[in-house]
Chains A and B, each alone.
Chain A
Amino acid sequence: MSECVIPTLTSMEVVESKSVLPDGWKADLSNLKGLDLTQPVLELMRRTTSRLPQDVIDALVKGRDAEEEGSRAFNTLNDMVRNILLADGNVTPLCQDTGTVIFFVRHPYGLSQRAAKKQIRAAVVQATKNVWLRPNCVEAISGKNTGTNMDPFHEGHPVLHFEEWDRPEIEIAVMLKGGGCENVGAQYRLPDATIGAGRDIKGVRKCIIDAVVKAQGQGCSPGILGVAIGGDRVTSYEKSKELILRKLGTAHADPKMDAFEKEVTNDLNTLGIGPMGYGGNTTALGVHVEEMYRHPASFFVSISYMCWSSRRRVMTISSTGEVSFD
């Protein structure tokens, strides 16, 4: 399995030809009350479950090519690339764990969040029927699977974040976050004497290193880390997750923070954990850090770990109704 794979995804023409949206479909955003998001969201799910963003593929290939050819790390990264191409070509889920389905919806004034929620939920039910999603929503204690990915109380799953903004377009981002990587996320409260982390940027760095060492290969390394500094327990974790949506290789707006992100990523890649924890130089594909405000008494560092199969996609419906995916 060590033959080196050069990745080329199926062309956009092929992707478009398999769309669930009729050719030339347009939304009418002048009538937000009459808008039905079900089909566009279904198409968003199709593209997210089977096709990785290009920046993630590029990072994996770069990691592979930096490993010694024929090593277990090289072969494992190569298998990951092979898997990406297979799932893309077949339009089947990249990973059997299609994750917790997390939406971030930003919309202009006038959109009914209740109606949108109903439509997004309907799209998720359909995506599950289409075998693009595994039924991943079970009752907490009994473990009973609802079979549809629906939480009957409309609270837990799919996860929906709504925000009204003053722009005319609708933007819906989705992330499929697997259970394995969710389980290795961590929240620290500084100062933390167990790892010698104080209330400063050095302390934050220690938290990140500690979390990645504890995670080993369990979160399907090489991982992408979202790190929020500050906030309360909830907003901090929430922000850390949102940071996973940022494209790999994009610079932080603050040059100091940008340098910190790069330095920590390099540090993590000297830990020797490697892809799947087999050993190697590719442990993290990127670290995205954001500073928030906090209560004077609390200093949280929240870390969300995303597996290498970072399935995220953003759909934009422009003010003139065209749908685009990024």
Chain B
Amino acid sequence: MIRLTTPITEDRIRQLKVGDEVLLNGNVVLSRDIGHKFMKEQKPEWLKPILENMVIYHCGPVVRKNSDGTWSFVAAGPTTSIREEPYQADVIETYKVRGVIGKGGMGKKTSEGLQKTGAVYLHATGGAGSLLAERVKRVVDVKMLEEFGSPEAFWIIEVEDFPLVVTMDSHGGSLHEIVLAQSQERAKALMN
């Protein structure tokens, strides 16, 4: 088990390999569909210091507003990442992002982006909303809440020992490609 704390250097990220199990600590930034389109098309400057050497999490959480005005995460598992495939590589490069958390893996374009910039794809257990919300220590800030709505806003959260698996590394390795190829081969045999 590897413990990582954000911000993360490029050197450290390049040491990670497919299959490594990681416990992530520090701040991560939530973003999904609207956010990725926004980042690619508008490239807002104000996001640069928030994202540099940080980790993006594909997640639309269930949140509760507390009576003192603070927020709590109630359920916060990953959403399917492949929808961000058209945007992810650009976002990683523009903002020097070191990691992307999600589920289901991503495609070739993102893999190339991970290799070029020096970043990894970290897989979280889909559907484990309660389990993962327990690892959220606090909500640090939220951006674009009004504009995007709560599932799509840029939530900045601090996590503690957030359990992840590296399924795409910065050397072109992808567990998703391996499983896909093996299952396609097996399917061919079954369908014969």
Contacts and interface: CB of A to CB of B under 8 A. Distances in A.
Nearest to B65: A131
Contacts of A218: 80, 82, 103-104
Interface in A242-293: 267, 270-274, 276-279
Contacts of A76: 125
Given A80-B128, A92-B74, A145-B152, A270 B186 contact: yes
B122 to A, nearest CB: 13
B8 to A, nearest CB: 22
Interface in A216-232: 216-218, 220
Main secondary structure of the interface of B (DSSP, over half): mixed
B175 A279 contact: yes
A308 interface: yes
Interface in A278-320: 278-279, 307-309
A309 B134 CA distance: 18
Contacts of A131: 62-64, 74
A276 B133 CA distance: 18
Contacts, number: 169
B103 A276 contact: yes
A279 B129 contact: no
A292 to B, nearest CB: 24
Given A217-B126, A273-B183, A96 B77 contact: yes
Interface of B: 33-34, 59-64, 74-77, 79-80, 82, 103-105, 123, 125-131, 133-134, 148-152, 163, 165, 167, 175-176, 178-180, 182-184, 186-187, 190-191
29 contacts: A1-B163, A76-B125, A79-B131, A80-B125, A80-B128, A82-B131, A83-B129, A83-B130, A86-B131, A92-B130, A93-B130, A94-B75, A95-B128, A96-B151, A98-B62, A134-B60, A134-B61, A134-B75, A138-B149, A145-B150, A205-B191, A209-B187, A213-B183, A213-B184, A217-B103, A217-B105, A217-B179, A270-B190, A279-B175
